Amino acid sequence: MEVSGEAVKKSRSRANLPDYGYPVEDRAVLVDKATTVNERLTLKYGPARWSSKDPMSMLVDIILSHRTRDAQTAAAYAALKARYATWEDLRDAPTADVEATIAGVTWPEQKAPRLQAIMRKITADQGNLNLDFLKEWPVEQGVEYLSRFEGVGPKTRACVLLFSCRKPILPVDTHVHRVSIRLGLLGPKVSAEAAHDLLQALLPDAAQAIYNFHRGLLRHGQQVCVYERPRCQQCILRDLCDYYQKKVLPQATPARG
């Protein structure tokens, strides 16, 4: 899906970009860089594909994924679906049984009671465990609702609203955060939590473009711009990357005597 020129123009024309610690005149440069990064990574990794999970299922999946590898998350989610016919069954099950079912994830002793507590609160609010109404709500209202639940932070809220509801909101995980700092889209001291709004202000107000950016930086962080010893020679963003230009290239260039 292509992003319309009007959406890009709308993003670039924003006068209320947050304070990045850069001069005002440099902010348009950040928007242009983010646009180019998104275009290149979308070509490399392909457009992000939408999930078929409903919002309640996505919320479960994302909570399981905290500090956990994808394979272990997928296995735990599949185990829950195999053991419990409905999310209501999981909500009402003995917590020890839920914990045993998701034993492969990080901190199952925290995630099992947290999942059940969230489910009980949703049931008290809504009368059921159907969060499909989030698809119809504005982004801000969905964020406010999900913020009520302990353990549901900015990344989790954004994942549910983007992946399942197709709302234009950016999740920032550890890979997106790291790659954005290396590229110079964020300052080196910007936290992951602050990065959500700062990075989104550089992107078009279009869910597919935001999803492409998230997925592209995620994949790039997993495969090329890894935590230790980034594979800069394989990177298609070297000419845009502050880390490469300032730290890698000078070391690779022989000094002139």
CA distances from 189 to 29, 133, 152, 193, 233 (A): 20, 37, 23, 11, 26
Specify the pLDDT at position 8: 38
Give Cα 202 to chain centroid, integer Å: 15
Specify the pLDDT at position 253: 64
- DSSP percent split of the chain into helix, strand, coil, nearest 5: 65, 0, 35
Q: Other C-beta atoms within 10 Å of 120: how many?
A: 13
Pairwise CA distance, residues 204 & 88, whole Å: 38
Contact status, residue 221 vs residue 179, Cβ threshold 8 Å: yes
Beta-carbon-side half-sphere exposure of residue 84 (alpha carbons within 13 Å): 24
Contact status, residue 91 vs residue 123, Cβ threshold 8 Å: yes
The tens digit of pLDDT for each residue in 39-98 reads 999 999 999 999 999 999 999 999 999 999 999 999 999 999 999 999 999 999 999 999
Pairwise CA distance, residues 165 & 221, whole Å: 25
> What is the domain partition of the chain in residue ranges?
5-49+169-223, 55-164
Specify the pLDDT at position 23: 53
Q: Other C-beta atoms within 10 Å of 141: how many?
A: 12
Give Cα 22 to chain centroid, integer Å: 24
CB crowding 56-82: b at 16 or more within 10 Å, else e: bbbbbbbbbbbebeeebbebbbebbee
Specify the pLDDT at position 6: 44
Query: Which residues of the chain are modeled with pLDDT < 50?
Result: 1-17
Contacts for 161 with CB less than 8 Å, ≥ 6 apart: 55, 134, 139, 142, 143, 146, 167, 169
CATH number for the domain formed by residue range(s) 55-164 = 1.10.340.30
